[in-house]
Structure 1
Amino acid sequence: MTASRVPAGRSVTVEVPATTANLGPGFDTLGLALSVYDVLTVTASEVPGARVEVHGVGAGEVPTDESNLVVQAILRVFTEVGEAPPGLDLVARNTIPHGRGLGSSGAAVVSGVVAASGLLAGIVELDGDRLLGIATAMEGHPDNVAPALFGGLTIAWTGDDGPQHKRLLPHRSVSPLLLVPEHTMSTALARSLQPVNVPHADAIFNVSRSTLLIAALIQSPELLHTATEDRLHQSYRASAMPETDRMIALLRAAGHAAVVSGAGPSILVLASDPSRRLEAAALVRSAAEHRWEAILPAVDIKGATLRDQQAPVLRAPS
């Protein structure tokens, strides 16, 4: 077996933000990075294999060997560039909720590919576009991994050259609120409820709203309520998360721009000022049948970073 060129003892620490995808009408296209973070430290070892220590979310639940998703992402990068991996010791400190539509699996993949790029620094150089391609191949679609990698608001698509993205900075008054229930939701189940075909009128409706949403997020936050209307996916998934559906209807009736966060069951509210977030959280607290945790994050504009550096790890052209 070829020895790894990564020296034993080399260590990197990566911080990756949570993400919320779709944002209502932007199904599988739009994503936003939020200031809730998983932190991963990876150290190269002379001992073969991988050992994972997990603190916080997922402790005692996720695998702690080579089947761990973060380890799989690291190994995927080494395979892609034709380099032998070293032994790996990982310490994960997680705060992103699992199975709640906040991009936890995308964050795991991104933390792995960015950690691998750090371990390979000076041996093989990997830019953001290359890492986006590898992460998307693992995750299946780029709407969560793009904002996790690059921060801010991202438009993601797949072209002849693979996954692409455009990074934008939301208007300073855009204030996200996350409402996170205790129960989880399977992304695979949510996707299985999506029909293969949708009415032509609904497709046109979503094109208009997703276009308007870009304008609302970067220039005209007062349009957020109208811009977050959706006919493409949320109604089809409502039966699998009735409490989420009921709370979104209640919030929207009160004028809040509320949508399903990713595949759910969490709710994202895009407020045009901070005080409206508090009103939305109070409304859900007073009307919900079950407990919802209210998180008031900022929009993360850095994306994945090496924690001992002030600059982003990667910055593909945006």
Structure 2
Amino acid sequence: MIATGRTVTVRVPATTANLGPGFDTLGLALALYDELTVTVRDQPGASVEVHGVGEGEVPTDETNLVVRSIAHTFAAYGQEMPGLDLVARNVIPHGRGLGSSGAAIASGVVAAQALLEGVVEIDGLGLLARATELEGHPDNVAPALFGGLTIAWTTPEGPRYKKLNVHRGVSPLVLVPGHTMSTALARSLQPESVPHADAIFNVSRSTLLIASLIQSPELLFEATEDKLHQSYRASAMPETDALIRALRAAGYPAVVSGAGPSILVLCSDPAQRKGATELVERTAATPWQSLVLAVDIKGATVVLHPDDVTQP
């Protein structure tokens, strides 16, 4: 039985997936955070109070994605979800390719893990499995849960991940437009098969990308080349495509962030990031918000009130 009044606060980072050639495999956690506080109450059901991004737009009842993630996790371990009051303080942009849905799911499963502590023990692979069941693929939820650079894959036994530490010189820049992009639409533009040469090209670039991110940032421009997904989606994101072309023509390693329409520039040092920011300010035909972000290394963190601190 979970005591009424038990409260947990979860902090989850934004993520950027694919990173160019690592389609549905590579993800990176960024230091931009949504925060969720969950309190157990006497009455059944759930209510959600939303502040910031999504306020007045996302559901505030049991249909909310965070609530559904908590309920899914409780059900997966044969537990009945208690009544809950949730307060969400959101900063991660919605519908921009920065993992907002993955962050919501991650915050829900981690909150459930914390609430169930002492009743059911859920390890990291359990969290990843529950989150992937909801998200459909692990490339965004893995870095949201564990931080850093993650390689995610699936096995008959469930999803797996490997977390890697990113070279301190890597300096991410995220460019966020005013419009959104549907992940479902972006995925619908992908062909069922790709040329053999393109597949080989991306295998070489994705392996080079891992080496570049953890050891050799000077190779990031070549390492972020892609032939599997970005060109197929370009027609649905003309402003994104145009700005990526302009950045890459000037030597900056720019890629689509997740399903877009945001752009990730994986700069090799802060000076290069400053140059990319100035290029966007000079040449972009439409407004873009520039976010100078660090790589998050912790992933989701939990505070068990009043003073116990844990991490998945």
Please indicate, yes or no, whether the TM-score normalized by the shorter chain is above 0.5. yes
Q: Match of 1:313?
A: 311
> Given the two structures, how large is their TM-score scaled by the length of structure 1?
0.96
Name the structure 1 match of 2:244: 248
Letter in 2 for 1:313: Q
CA distance in 2, matches of 1:69, 1:285: 36
* Residue 28 (structure 2) pairs with residue 32 (structure 1): yes
Q: Which amino acid aligns with 2:169?
A: S
The answer to whether residue 216 in structure 2 is matched with residue 220 in structure 1 is yes
Deviations along 1:249-276, whole A, 9 cap, x unmatched?
Answer: 0000111000000000000000110111
- Report matched runs for 1:66-145 at 5 Å: 66-145=62-141
Identity of aligned residues (%): 71
**1:158-237 correspondence runs (5 A):** 158-237=154-233
Answering whether residue 218 of structure 2 is matched by residue 260 of structure 1, we say no
- Whether the aligned pair in 1 keeps the contact of 2:303 and 2:309 (CA below 8 Å) is no
Matches within 5 A, 1:54-69: 54-69=50-65
Measure how far apart 1:307 and its partner are.
Answer: 3.8
Moved more, 62-71 or 284-293: 284-293
TM-score by length of 2: 0.98
Deviation digits for residues 32-84 of structure 1 (CA, Å, limit 9, x no counterpart) = 00000000000001111100000000000000000000000000011001111
Deviation, structure 1 residue 279: 1.0
Query: Residue 221 of structure 1: CA displacement?
Result: 0.4
In the alignment, what sits opposite 2:287? 291
Runs of at least 4 residues of structure 1 off by over 2 A? 307-312
Q: CA deviation at 1:311?
A: 6.5
Which whole-Å CA distance do the structure 1 matches of 2:308 and 2:62 have between them? 30
Compared with structure 1, are the counterparts of its residues 263 and 50 closer, same or farther at alpha carbon in structure 2 (3 Å cutoff)? same
CA distance in 1, matches of 2:184, 2:99: 14
Any conservation in 2 of the 1:302–1:312 contact (CA below 8 Å)?
no
2: CA distance, partners of 1:15 / 1:232: 33
CA contact (8 A) 2:244 2:263 kept: yes
Residues 99-131 of structure 1, C-alpha deviation per residue, up to 9 Å, x if partnerless? Answer: 000000000000000000111111111011001
Contact 1:6 1:85 (C-alpha < 8 Å) held by counterparts = no
Q: Which amino acid aligns with 2:155?
A: G
C-alpha distance in 2 between matches for 1:294 and 1:155: 26
For residues 47 and 288 of structure 1, what CA distance do their matches in structure 2 show? Answer: 52
* SS of residue paired to 2:51: strand
Q: Counterpart of 1:64 in 2: which secondary structure?
A: coil
* Residue type at the aligned position of 2:77: V
Give the superposition deviation at 1:310: 9.0
SS at match of 1:99: coil
Aligned to 2:273: 277
Q: Distance in 1 between matches of 2:104 and 2:132?
A: 12
2:229 aligned with 1:239: no
Residue type of the partner of 2:258?
G
Answer yes or no: is 1:156 the counterpart of 2:152.
yes
Structure 2's unaligned 5+ residue stretches are none
Runs (5+) with no aligned partner, structure 1: none
- TM-aligned CA deviation for residue 287 of structure 1: 1.3
**Whole-Å separation in 2 of the counterparts to 1:90 and 1:208:** 45
Partner Cα separation in structure 2 for residue 138 and residue 240 of structure 1: 26
In the alignment, the residues of structure 2 paired with residue 197 and residue 166 of structure 1 have an alpha-carbon distance, to the nearest angstrom, of 27
Structural RMSD (CA)? 1.0
Q: How far did 1:312 drift?
A: 5.6
Q: 2: CA distance between counterparts of 1:174 and 1:29?
A: 19
C-alpha contact 1:185 1:264 (8 A) present in aligned 2: yes
1:243 partner SS: helix
| 8 Å contact from structure 2 (residues 172, 273) kept in 1 | yes
Residue aligned with 1:135, SS: helix
310 and 220 in structure 1: CA distance in 2 versus 1, 3 angstrom threshold: farther
In structure 2, the CA distance between the partners of 1:155 and 1:311, relative to structure 1 (3 Å rule), is: farther
